[in-house]
Structure 1
Amino acid sequence: MVARSIPFIELYAGDHERTVEHLTTELGLSRVAEAAGRTSRAVLLQQGTLRLVVTSGDGTEDFLEAHGDGIADIALACSDVTGTRAAALAAGAADLGATGDAPVVSGFGAVRHTLVPESRAGGLPPGREWVPVADRQRPAARIRLLDHVAICVEGGSLERHVEFYAAFGLQRYSSEFVDVGDSSMDSVVVRSASGEVTFTLVAPGSTTGTGQLDAFLRRNDGPGVQHLALLVDDIVAAVTEAAARGVVFLQTPAPYYDALAARFPDIPEEIGRLRATNVLADRDEWGYLLQLFTTSPHPRNTLFYEFIQRHGARGFGSANIRALYEAVERDRPAVP
């Protein structure tokens, strides 16, 4: 009666061609299958175990009008679909019917969860007639899996969401509070026992309404997925190649690297290579990690991506949260 993995994530997009182009040509995912109707289009993309469904057309209009391009469904592969559905409904989820033979329940904001039996986690997403495709365009396979999903919710609602996801078997893993100027961010990480489902729940920590999370909630018309973190084995190569293909990454303050050599005298990556690619580094008691955010490729700036490389570290870059937060603050428009 618990969530074990994320078999796919569904992204609604207003400009289907441009979104698929970004995810394939720029981020490097490959087309696996397509499902097209008279008034709708869907394509399944994959690299490593990460699988994204990009959907446009019929059935997406209301979501897109309210929220812009964004994640509409985080599917969960469950050890007991019937039991997980019952637990979710008891915790306050709404019954949204079914997609094919897979039950669907509400999650946060307008995002839903399709519940898939664990035995079918590697199959095609339910509810469509998929046609397999052979993608001739296959960039270097840098993305290994989905490391975590960052979810932005309203201030003061973190504990309610933590309790809600306990019904899916996700338990509190860590928490963090960052105060930057007149805005702040509060966060709690919940994770499945399998380690394959990790949600980083973030919320405004102040009442000024001026921070980047407040701006996201306004642009998105409520809670939603802020970013997807993609695990890679060589972040310098991944960032270099993605940037050459057109992906735009956030810029890191130059003084950050002046202190990095003192903080990390023993990391094998040369500080100069990290500086050249704007990659940040952090460590915990288990090891260290490297990470970097993209800017949003979507019109309403509602979703972006993170590359992350782990060398034993189990955390999420707590020492980098301030630097990343400040980088996003500089990148976002002055007027939401």
Structure 2
Amino acid sequence: MGAQEIDYVELYTADAEAMTDYFRSDLGFALVARSAGPGRDSVLLRQGTARLVVTTGEVTGAFVEQHGDGIADVAFRCDDVTATRQGALAAGAVDADVPHGGPAVSGFGSVVHTLLPATGTADGLPAGFGWVPSGESRGERPERIALLDHIAVCVERGSLDSYADFYAAGFGLTRYSAESVRVGASSMESVVVRSDSDGVTFTLVAPGPSEGSGQLDAFLSRNDGPGVQHLAFLVDDIVAAVREAERVEFLNTPGTYYDALGSRLAGMREEIADLRATNVLADRDEWGYLLQLFTRSPHPRDTLFYELIQRRGSRGFGSNNIRALYEAVELDRLAAR
């Protein structure tokens, strides 16, 4: 019983045209279909198996006013929708209304989870929207993104264990790893939970028990509570993907990082020039190498950003992956003061 795959994530935004252009022109998504309903206009974007629904209109008003642009729905494919709903309610969730039907239950903050059968729909499109295929082709740009690798969820200080327990009891996700990172006066704690199928992975992050106020405190303030901090997309070639995303603003990496990278990762010495030129971070775990880079937020309230990640054998979410995110964002935040 539980969540097996992420069917789609739905972004509520005040400017659907700008965000659709960002995902299509800058990150290479294809526009697959459109949908219109009472107080709602949506587009479906796809690259690899990653599916994004971008929605604007009256139904998004209260969410966007409170949180700014953000992920409002992380839809799960479930082995048994009825049993998953009952398990989620028993774990503390409540039934939630979504404009395109349901069933749906509450998750974290204002984010809900629409529950869908594992078999999907006959036309392969997310259920309940009444899609009209766009008829558009993706053009000649290579399809770099293969799938949605993980979702980072920012929650309140001291709440990690309760959220991890909630997703274990309600959706069948299990704890994979935990980490604590400190940078200067601020700190972060994290717990990774994932489904047995590996189709759902949440990196739950929260401010640590430190005296200073850091990036996660700032996110919780801007977002007015818990929410999706970033979406991480798995790519086939991160250097090529970054070079093709010419208009995307990525975080900068200090040159000293690459000065030490050759001795730390001897197997990547020949690639350091390309990594330096694109600001890509590199590390490894016991299974292999991990390459990643984080965008600056393209949203007005700086509430959501994105990650490109390439795995060369690496399977985990240990300290190096999580520390790289926190340190990169924290250094960028401090430099902007």
Under TM normalisation by the shorter chain, which class is it? Answer: over 0.9
Q: Do structure 1's residue 165 and structure 2's residue 176 form an aligned pair? A: no
- After superposition, what is the alpha-carbon deviation per residue over 1:64-96, rounded to whole angstroms, capped at 9, x for unaligned? 000000000000000000000000000000111
User: Cα offset for 1:99?
Assistant: 5.9
- After superposition, what is the alpha-carbon deviation per residue over 1:120-174, rounded to whole angstroms, capped at 9, x for unaligned? 1683223322100122443321000000000000010000000000120100000
* Aligned-CA RMSD value: 1.9
Verify the 8 A CA contact 2:232 2:309 in the aligned structure 1. Answer: yes
Matched residue, 2:134: 133
Verify the 8 A CA contact 2:192 2:317 in the aligned structure 1. Answer: no
Matched residue, 2:115: 115
Verify the 8 A CA contact 1:3 1:197 in the aligned structure 2. Answer: yes
Q: Return the alpha-carbon distance in structure 2 between the equivalents of residues 204 and 18 of structure 1.
A: 31
Partner of 1:270, secondary structure, is helix
Q: Return the alpha-carbon distance in structure 2 between the equivalents of residues 100 and 145 of structure 1.
A: 24
What TM-score do the two structures reach when normalised by structure 2? 0.94
* 319 and 60 in structure 1: CA distance in 2 versus 1, 3 angstrom threshold: same
Which 5+ residue runs of structure 2 have no aligned equivalent?
none
Partner of 1:93, secondary structure, is coil
User: Cα offset for 1:266?
Assistant: 1.4
Deviating more after overlay: 3-12 vs 134-143: 134-143
Q: Return the alpha-carbon distance in structure 2 between the equivalents of residues 333 and 137 of structure 1.
A: 39
Matched residue, 2:226: 223
- After superposition, what is the alpha-carbon deviation per residue over 1:47-71, rounded to whole angstroms, capped at 9, x for unaligned? 0000000000121000000000000
User: Cα offset for 1:335?
Assistant: 9.3
Verify the 8 A CA contact 2:47 2:147 in the aligned structure 1. Answer: yes
- The aligned length equals 334
What TM-score do the two structures reach when normalised by structure 1? 0.95
User: Cα offset for 1:324?
Assistant: 3.4
- Matching of residues 278-317 of structure 1 within 5 Å: 278-316=279-317
Q: Return the alpha-carbon distance in structure 2 between the equivalents of residues 13 and 278 of structure 1.
A: 29
Matched residues, percent identical? 63
Partner of 1:163, secondary structure, is helix
Residue 106 of structure 2 aligns with an amino acid whose one-letter code is S
Residue 102 of structure 2 aligns with an amino acid whose one-letter code is A
Q: Return the alpha-carbon distance in structure 1 between the equivalents of residues 97 and 27 of structure 2.
A: 33
Q: Return the alpha-carbon distance in structure 2 between the equivalents of residues 293 and 11 of structure 1.
A: 19
Q: Return the alpha-carbon distance in structure 2 between the equivalents of residues 99 and 14 of structure 1.
A: 17
Matched residue, 2:191: 188
Q: Return the alpha-carbon distance in structure 1 between the equivalents of residues 112 and 312 of structure 2.
A: 33
Matched residue, 1:252: 253
Verify the 8 A CA contact 1:13 1:55 in the aligned structure 2. Answer: yes
Partner of 1:186, secondary structure, is strand
